[in-house]
Amino acid sequence: MTVREGSPESELNGVAVLVTGGTGFIGSHVVRTLLELGADVTVADRNPHPDPDVRCVTGELADPAVRRRAVRPGTRAIIHLAAVTSVLRSLEDPQDVYEVNVEVTQGLLELARAEGVGSFVLASTNAVTGDVGAARIDENIPLRPLTPYGATKAAGEMLLSAYSAAYGVTGTSLRFANVYGPGMRHKDSFVPRLMRAALDGSTIQVYGDGTQLRDYVHVHDIVRGMLLAWRAGHTGPLILGSGRSESVNDLIEAARQVTGAPIPVDHVPGKPGEMPAVVLDVSAARALGYEPAYDLTGGLKTVWSDFTDGAPG
């Protein structure tokens, strides 16, 4: 990701930032960009960061001692990405997703309060809103999550709201759309499944008829939006997506074009908690200067090259 000179993102020299989940898909892009901008980054993740030059507190964030080590004196911002991210896993084990996504968030907020950390950025999701039919989703829509995953993210948003109002932590909850990009080979979401199907010739399962609408946003756009929101001191929720909705069938067609593989499809019944449509209004983010740069085909090319030659994104 390139950063414009003079943009808010270019003013991070020496700023101490904790990135939880910094070894993961989105986190590794966030960490790389922050380091490029001169920030003093600490990662906290149960998996060690692959770059030995990155300071990493490796451990389970449910452990208070790990959290205390992660929030070093002088930390100015916490970018909290560590979470149980699988909706299906949350349906199978709602207690576990609560412990990781809510209790860890609360523990980090307490440390932010105690240590005077100025900013807290929470990775949330458009899944906090639930079934709104095909209505356009903006930040004002009531929260009615359909899954434990969505509920825990909504709970995190509420906790952050309280810490913002009561203790002066500048908190923003970024509601990500479906994020894709290089570095997601370990994930089980639909884009990496498509890439694996293209590589090994297997059939891909599609829930329902594939006409359900989704907003697919490239991870580089997410990182840019996150930096803009944080540096602008935005408080409250903010939707970060591409601002375009495409059907699952459109996504499969784009993947076929990019990979040159036929990617056969098997339609299976939908899962509980699936949103029928996701149509996101990103105008609040646009007002902060956010402008998604990737279209689906261009974005999928970056994922495909990551799957085929392992080139870094």
Ligand X SMILES: NC(=O)c1ccc[n+]([C@@H]2O[C@H](COP(=O)([O-])OP(=O)(O)OC[C@H]3O[C@@H](n4cnc5c(N)ncnc54)[C@H](O)[C@@H]3O)[C@@H](O)[C@H]2O)c1
Residues that bind ligand X (CB under 6 A): 21, 23-27, 45-47, 60-62, 81-83, 85, 100, 104, 123, 125, 176, 178-179, 187
Least Å distance between CB 44 and ligand X? 6
Least Å distance between CB 186 and ligand X? 6
Least Å distance between CB 142 and ligand X? 19
Helix (H) or strand (E) holding 39: none
Q: How many CB atoms lie within 10 A of CB 138?
A: 14
Three-class SS of residue 250?
A: helix
Helix (H) or strand (E) holding 288: none
Least Å distance between CB 249 and ligand X? 19
80 vs 19: CA distance, rounded Å: 6
* Cβ nearer to ligand X, comparing 144 with 185: 185
* Cβ nearer to ligand X, comparing 163 with 216: 216
64 vs 69: CA distance, rounded Å: 9
Burial environment of residue 233 by CB neighbours within 10 A (0 to 12, 13 to 18, 19 or more): exposed
Q: How many CB atoms lie within 10 A of CB 167?
A: 14
38 vs 58: CA distance, rounded Å: 22
28 vs 179: CA distance, rounded Å: 13
* Cβ nearer to ligand X, comparing 105 with 164: 105
Least Å distance between CB 200 and ligand X? 22
* Cβ nearer to ligand X, comparing 62 with 132: 62
Least Å distance between CB 304 and ligand X? 18
146 phi/psi in degrees, rounded to 5: -100, -10
Least Å distance between CB 6 and ligand X? 29
* Cβ nearer to ligand X, comparing 176 with 230: 176
* Cβ nearer to ligand X, comparing 7 with 106: 106
Least Å distance between CB 62 and ligand X? 5
* Cβ nearer to ligand X, comparing 13 with 51: 51
Q: Which residue's entry shows tokens 């899944």? A: 127
253 vs 22: CA distance, rounded Å: 32
Shortest-Cβ-distance residue relative to ligand X:
24
27 vs 19: CA distance, rounded Å: 7
Let me know: does 307 contact 176? Beta carbons within 8 Å: no
Two structure tokens written together for 85:
């991210």
* Cβ nearer to ligand X, comparing 119 with 125: 125
268 vs 33: CA distance, rounded Å: 39
